[in-house]
Amino acid sequence: MKQIFKRPKALVDVPFHFCPGCHHGIIHRLVAECIDRYKLRGSTIGVASVGCSVFLYDYMDVDVLEAPHGRAAAVATGVKRACPSNFVFTYQGDGDLAAIGTAEIVHAANRGEHITVVFVNNTVFGMTGGQMAPTTMEGQETTTTPFGREPGTNGYPIKMAEVMAELTGTTFVARVAVDNPKNLMRAKKVLRRAFETQIKGKGFSFVEFLSACPTNWKMSPERATRRIGEEMVPYFPLGIFKEDNASGV
């Protein structure tokens, strides 16, 4: 019998600190698979952000730099400009990227930095205990929207992939989910294209993952995973929003 599914090599063999059923684990594995696939273990520099994924460096068998909250895209800009032949990615939550880090992601994208951004949208601030994120859905209860997010005062869930696609500087922009095997397989393929965008020197690539946070959604992992298809996908449609084959710059 042959082993047809195994742990990617780039994923250090230690247990994740994530909560049961958290999709961060799946997304970490997909990133590691790509590092393996494109033989990037020796040339990758990862930029970890602040959020539940801050321990990225404990899990990825590559060089990692920790960025201040929200600034991963600026940090990655510095890294990539200094080391243009390395593969550079950021891994950021929706608080990190779409709230405090808005200016940094918009301008890194607009400059067309040759980096790959893995963006995890779980509609809450996970690490800090479930406060509202810019992506929190209308009516969703969080610890800072105890009566549900009300657009009149708290604004609307922001669609980052769409905003990114609007910027001239971006080359590849997509939104995926890993809530069922079908979506997950598609996410894999999309993530590969994002990696290839950078590897081929074509510019800025951005993949938004819809992700479950059972803990802060106060749902069972199963219920949380189903919520993605039921509530999130209708508002945050999946797909490739932009794929520019011109040689980036």
Ligand X SMILES: Cc1ncc(C[n+]2csc(CCOP(=O)(O)OP(=O)(O)O)c2C)c(N)n1
Point out which residues bind ligand SF4 (CB under 6 A). Answer: 18-19, 22, 24, 52, 122, 126-127, 213-216
Binding site for a copy of itself (CB under 8 A): 99-103, 106-107, 110-112, 134, 151-159, 162-163, 166-169, 249
Judged by CB under 8 A, the residue of 31, 34, 50, 97 near other proteins is 50
- Does residue 168 belong to the site contacting other proteins (CB under 8 A)? no
Residue partners of 187: CB distance under 8 A and separation at least 6: 30, 176, 177, 178, 207, 209
**Residue 74 burial by CB count (10 A; 0-12/13-18/19+): exposed, middle or buried?**
buried
Give the alpha-carbon dihedral of 89, 78, 55, 61, to 10 degrees.
60
Q: Is 242 helix (H, G, I), strand (E, B) or coil?
A: strand
The least CB distance from residue 244 to other proteins, in Å, is 22
Using an 8 Å Cβ cutoff, are 176 and 182 in contact?
Answer: no
DSSP lists the bridge partners of residue 204 as: 170
- Does residue 229 belong to the site contacting other proteins (CB under 8 A)? no
The least CB distance from residue 207 to other proteins, in Å, is 17
The least CB distance from residue 133 to a copy of itself, in Å, is 12
Provide the 10 A C-beta neighbour count for residue 210: 26
The least CB distance from residue 128 to ligand X, in Å, is 5
The least CB distance from residue 87 to ligand SF4, in Å, is 25
Rg (CA), the chain: 17
The least CB distance from residue 101 to ligand X, in Å, is 8
Closest CB to ligand X among 68 and 78? 68
Q: Is 102 helix (H, G, I), strand (E, B) or coil?
A: helix
Closest CB to ligand SF4 among 122 and 171? 122
Supply φ then ψ for residue 114, to 5 degrees: -85, 65
Distance CA 70, CA 88 (A): 17
> Which entry of other proteins, ligand SF4, a copy of itself, none binds 232, CB below 5 to 8 A by partner kind?
none
Closest CB to other proteins among 132 and 240? 132
Using an 8 Å Cβ cutoff, are 80 and 67 in contact?
Answer: no
Closest CB to other proteins among 222 and 245? 222
- Does residue 4 belong to the site contacting other proteins (CB under 8 A)? yes
Closest CB to ligand SF4 among 26 and 165? 26
